[in-house]
Amino acid sequence: MKKEDSTEHLILDAAKEIFQSKGMDGARMQEIADKAGINKAMLHYYYRSKQLLFEAVFKNVFSLLAPQLNSILNDDSSVETKVTNFTADYTAFMMKHPYLPNFIINELNRNEDFILKLQEQTGFPNLEKFKVQVATEINSGTLKPIDPDQLFVNILALNIFPFLGKPLIKALTKKDDASYAAFITSRKTEVATFIINSIKM
Amino acid sequence: MKKEDSTEHLILDAAKEIFQSKGMDGARMQEIADKAGINKAMLHYYYRSKQLLFEAVFKNVFSLLAPQLNSILNDDSSVETKVTNFTADYTAFMMKHPYLPNFIINELNRNEDFILKLQEQTGFPNLEKFKVQVATEINSGTLKPIDPDQLFVNILALNIFPFLGKPLIKALTKKDDASYAAFITSRKTEVATFIINSIKM
DNA sequence: AATAGGTTTAACCATATGGTTAACAAATGT
DNA sequence: ACATTTGTTAACCATATGGTTAAACCTATT
């Protein structure tokens, strides 16, 4: 039997879908069991409690996101190249996982201490290299002076917010789903241009 | 008796706090009643159901946010001035209502159709004037070419995201609450500079 | 074939939860 | 003063929900 067909894995897949779309409070154990096509008791057999199943899902989902962040932080290309690649890659990734950003952000707001458990995990994104790199490029006159933390948050904000705020932005800009998808697609390059215009000397 | 002391108002205030911090699914009617210091039956006497109480709260909260958006859209100052004022005002406003952005964003994601009820309300933000203005300033050579919708989303993103993603950003940038507050405060001017650097010809 | 181990299910349990009711109190009008 | 409406409470109800249990069901080992 393949690993993907194991009951434990079926449960995790079903739980990922339900928890991501409805959140911890909105999710129902019975609904997860139904989606997995198994008896509700199996959820507790493999994961003990709703809380532990949720944490397994959260860590799994976060481990999808972390590499996306690390990609911009830990390679040796210039800041300009990183911004360009990150914007394109991150947007493409999020178009495949539309519930992911809101899930992460919302659950971290619901329980601020939960991030502590993630920080201990290997692969938790580290900004040190990025900070040094930005400082170096500012010194060498390639970039205008800017606090690396501020720049990093700006990059995240411009890339993530369109997924978090989709319903609001759709209404404000009067777009339907198709034109919103086109809007997001064009951001793959627009956002990088916007950032680079701002910081390039 | 002052309006603020009426039972109906006590309920709405308590419900605003509970719904904003815990969301529709996480909120408990009993907890709202306890916070308001009244009997649970009163919630149903004045608001019929949890859903209707929630909608009353949501509309009330959204009506706090809408003027903030309208302020950037509907006055006659230049785009540069608007961005500067909006960034400072919006950030100051959000520091006073820290749960508001996540509440709005998350509940709209939970129920995408709900925004339709808001659009009908008077005062729902309208972008037309802003779009014309950006187009005019691009034509006159004041601004670099940019799609007004993209610029608008960028402004929103840079201003709202630091409040939505606070727990995540705190962990990534290794800031405590005090240094995060300072970080946000410096964004009151940093964000405007960042945007203007990018779009000014 | 018998045994032992893990796996799965239906039925069950205790509690939480949104909502209702009937009696009571406090205003309000006549 | 009396009646009527409005506001308030404690007790109650039906259902949903996370979790448990005991028995049944494989499946591999002896």
Which CATH number covers residue A156? 1.10.357.10
- pLDDT beyond 80 at B89: yes
* CA–CA separation, B198 and B201 (whole Å): 8
* CA–CA separation, A75 and B96 (whole Å): 39
Query: B30 beta carbon < 7 A from strand D?
Result: no
Q: In the structure, how far is the CA atom of residue B116 from the C1' atom of nucleotide C16, in angstroms? A: 33
SS3 call for B200: strand
Q: Are A194 and B154 in contact (CB under 8 A)?
A: yes
Q: Are B21 and B99 in contact (CB under 8 A)?
A: yes
Residue numbers in A near B194 (CB within 8 A): 146, 150, 154, 198-199
Q: Which of B129, B144, B164 to mutate to test the interface with A (most CBs of A within 10 A)?
A: B164
pTM greater than 0.75 (yes/no) = yes
* CA–CA separation, B12 and A132 (whole Å): 49
State whether A82 and A166 are in the same domain.
Answer: yes
State whether A83 and A23 are in the same domain.
Answer: no
Query: B126 beta carbon < 7 A from strand D?
Result: no
Could you please report the per-residue DSSP string of B120-161?
HSTT----HHHHHHHHHHHHTTSB----HHHHHHHHHHHHHH
State whether A62 and A10 are in the same domain.
Answer: no
SS3 call for B116: helix
pLDDT in tens, A43-72: 999 999 999 999 999 999 999 889 888 877
pLDDT for B70 = 87
Give the bases of strand C that a protein CB approaches within 7 Å: 7-11, 16-22
State whether B80 and B11 are in the same domain.
Answer: no
> From the first residue on, what is the mean pLDDT of each consecutive set of 10 residues in chain A (201 residues)?
78 98 98 97 98 97 89 87 95 95 97 89 91 97 97 98 98 97 98 98 88
* CA–CA separation, B197 and A74 (whole Å): 27
Q: Are B150 and B130 in contact (CB under 8 A)?
A: no
pLDDT in tens, B158-167: 999 999 999 9
Burial degree of B113 (CB within 10 A; 0-12, 13-18, 19+): exposed
State whether B132 and B174 are in the same domain.
Answer: yes
Taking CB atoms and an 8 Å limit, are B161 and A166 in contact across chains?
no
Q: Which one of A125, A167, A186 has the shortest CB-CB distance to B112? A: A167
Structure tokens at B8: 């109906």
Query: A30 beta carbon < 7 A from strand D?
Result: yes
Distant-in-sequence, close-in-space partners of B101: CB < 8 Å, separation ≥ 6: B94, B160, B163, B164
State whether A89 and A172 are in the same domain.
Answer: yes
> Which pairs from A6-9 meet CB under 8 Å and 24+ separation?
A7/A36, A7/A38, A7/A42, A7/A46, A8/A46
Q: In the structure, how far is the CA atom of residue B45 from the C1' atom of nucleotide C22, in angstroms? A: 15
State whether B72 and B168 are in the same domain.
Answer: yes
pLDDT for A109 = 96
* CA–CA separation, A97 and A71 (whole Å): 18
pLDDT in tens, A71-89: 778 888 999 999 999 999 9
State whether B134 and B75 are in the same domain.
Answer: yes
Nearest CA of chain B to the CA of A14: how many Å?
18
pLDDT in tens, B6-40: 999 999 999 999 999 999 999 999 999 999 999 99
State whether A29 and A126 are in the same domain.
Answer: no
State whether A68 and A37 are in the same domain.
Answer: no
Query: A35 beta carbon < 7 A from strand D?
Result: no
Tell me the average pLDDT of chain B: 95
Q: What residues make up the domain containing A12?
A: 1-48
Q: Give the closest residue to B168 by CA, choosing from A124, A7, A78, A45.
A: A124
Tell me how many domains chain A contains: 2
Q: What mean pLDDT is predicted for residues B37-58?
A: 98
Q: In the structure, how far is the CA atom of residue A35 from the C1' atom of nucleotide D17, in angstroms? A: 17
Which CATH number covers residue B37? 1.10.10.60
pLDDT for B1 = 55
Backbone angles phi, psi at B115, to 5 degrees: -65, -25
β-bridge mates for residue A200, sequence order: A143
Q: Which of B108, B115, B180 to mutate to test the interface with A (most CBs of A within 10 A)?
A: B108
Taking CB atoms and an 8 Å limit, are A173 and B194 in contact across chains?
no
pLDDT for B69 = 85
State whether A13 and A75 are in the same domain.
Answer: no
pLDDT in tens, B90-123: 999 999 999 999 999 999 999 988 899 899 888 8
pLDDT for B104 = 97
State whether B36 and B60 are in the same domain.
Answer: no
